[in-house]
């Protein structure tokens, strides 16, 4: 006699601690095996795109901080680039270099949180995440020196930055950069060859390159599938074309490759920071821009290689001081669309690991 099990639906969330935000999964299970998965989001919708159409261009900078709040500098960067493109605003060289510095520091911060939380999702206790948060705090100290904030920075402006870095910033940055490679080596030794971590991540949640491209995945999720695409190389912006760095990629497109790509990207960010700090030009950090900025009628799209992937802002101007349309191309939302295919056939415990490997922030998914 063959016993058959009956499928059932399990709700995970919307407040489950492993969901990296207010998110819900409706999993159809056969025993512990996932046969179907429905992501349910919208719990964090705040209408930011509509608010952007009611605010002046400058007032909207603070809205970008509330998208991917773990990478606020990157959100500021993409938005001001779009407005500068729309209004034809030039940026001083010193501000351009400092923007790259802050973008790469923000990439390291984001990846430290992503990897620490991911290893935690895999069942590790507190050690890895505490090690990574140790370095994260040092970068937040650097951000606080410049703008007084540690999470939502509101630091970049059209034509540059809100203010120059203080005298103590560059010595502290150089000290951090000199030490960071050794800390990344430490994470590598602690995690990469751990047999439990390998069992939880190797061959799990595979995303083939073709499917990654078809869903418009970007960032580490795309590169882990073997696609060598990075906007800093493919469509250089700011002064990235000056710096030498590599684009880490994976081969299998599994959870382990997504971990490794982020780990290696931190090394490349340190490499960029070393080059930028060696040749930081003197001069102003802002171009004078009218407080009542009214770009000419038209449209513009600008994007950056944010820590989670391609982050873009599409703006339409009708000639007033407020945009007619304010739209965000959010990498977390695009990358999340692969979750169902990556989870089917795996057990429910694996779904938490797969989900953690994508590294999303619900603030930019729901908006």
For the chain, which domains are there? 48-298+308-336 (1.10.645.10)
Provide the pLDDT for residue 96.
93
- pLDDT value, residue 81: 94
Dihedral Cα 116, 118, 121, 125, nearest 10 deg: -30
- The C-alpha atoms of residue 105 and residue 274 are separated, in whole angstroms, by 11
Q: What is the pLDDT of residue 92?
A: 93
User: 44 is written with which tokens?
Assistant: 């964090």
pLDDT for the residue 151: 85
Place of tokens 């965000």: 328
b/e code 193-204 from CB counts within 10 Å (16+ = b):
ebeebeebbeeb
Q: At a CB cut-off of 8 Å and minimum separation 6, what does 282 contact?
A: 94
For the chain, state the CA radius of gyration. 21
Rounded to two decimals, the pTM is 0.92
In the sheet with 33-40, reading across from the earlier edge strand, the strands are 8-12, 24-30, 33-40
pLDDT means per 10 residues, the chain with 367 residues, are 80 71 86 89 87 91 89 92 93 94 94 89 81 92 90 90 92 93 91 89 91 92 93 92 92 92 94 91 90 92 94 94 93 90 90 88 85
């Amino acid at each position: 006699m063959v016993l058959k099990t009956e499928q059932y639906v399990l709700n995970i969330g919307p407040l489950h601690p492993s969901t990296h935000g207010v998110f819900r999964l409706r999993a159809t299970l056969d025993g512990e095996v996932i046969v179907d998965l429905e992501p349910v989001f919208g719990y964090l919708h705040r209408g930011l795109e509509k608010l952007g159409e009611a605010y002046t261009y400058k007032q909207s900078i603070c809205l970008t901080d509330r998208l991917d709040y773990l990478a606020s500098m990157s959100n500021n960067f993409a938005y001001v680039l779009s407005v500068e493109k729309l209004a034809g605003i030039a940026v001083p060289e010193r501000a351009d270099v400092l923007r790259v510095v802050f973008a790469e520091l923000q990439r390291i911060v984001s990846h430290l949180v992503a990897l620490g939380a991911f290893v935690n999702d895999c069942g590790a206790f507190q050690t890895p995440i505490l090690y990574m948060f140790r370095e994260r705090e040092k970068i937040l100290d650097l951000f606080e020196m410049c703008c007084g904030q540690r999470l939502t920075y509101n630091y970049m402006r059209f034509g540059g930055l809100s203010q120059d870095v203080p005298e103590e910033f560059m010595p502290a940055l150089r000290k951090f950069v000199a030490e960071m490679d050794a800390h990344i080596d430490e994470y590598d030794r602690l995690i990469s060859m751990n047999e439990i971590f390998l069992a939880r991540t190797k061959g799990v949640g595979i995303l083939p390159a073709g499917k990654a491209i078809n869903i418009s995945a970007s960032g580490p999720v795309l590169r882990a599938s073997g696609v060598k695409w990075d906007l800093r190389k493919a469509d250089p912006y700011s002064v990235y074309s000056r710096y030498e760095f590599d684009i880490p990629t994976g081969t299998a497109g599994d959870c382990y490759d997504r971990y490794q790509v982020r780990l290696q990207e931190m090394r490349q960010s340190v490499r960029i920071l070393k080059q930028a700090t060696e040749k930081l030009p003197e001069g102003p950090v802002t171009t004078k821009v009218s407080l009542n900025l009214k770009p000419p009628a038209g449209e513009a799209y600008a994007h950056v290689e944010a820590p989670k992937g391609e982050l873009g802002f599409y703006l339409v101007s009708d000639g007033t001081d407020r945009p007619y349309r304010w739209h965000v191309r959010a990498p977390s939302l695009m990358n999340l669309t692969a979750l169902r295919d990556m989870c089917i056939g795996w057990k429910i415990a694996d779904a938490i690991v797969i989900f953690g490997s994508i590294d999303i922030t619900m603030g930019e998914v729901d908006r």
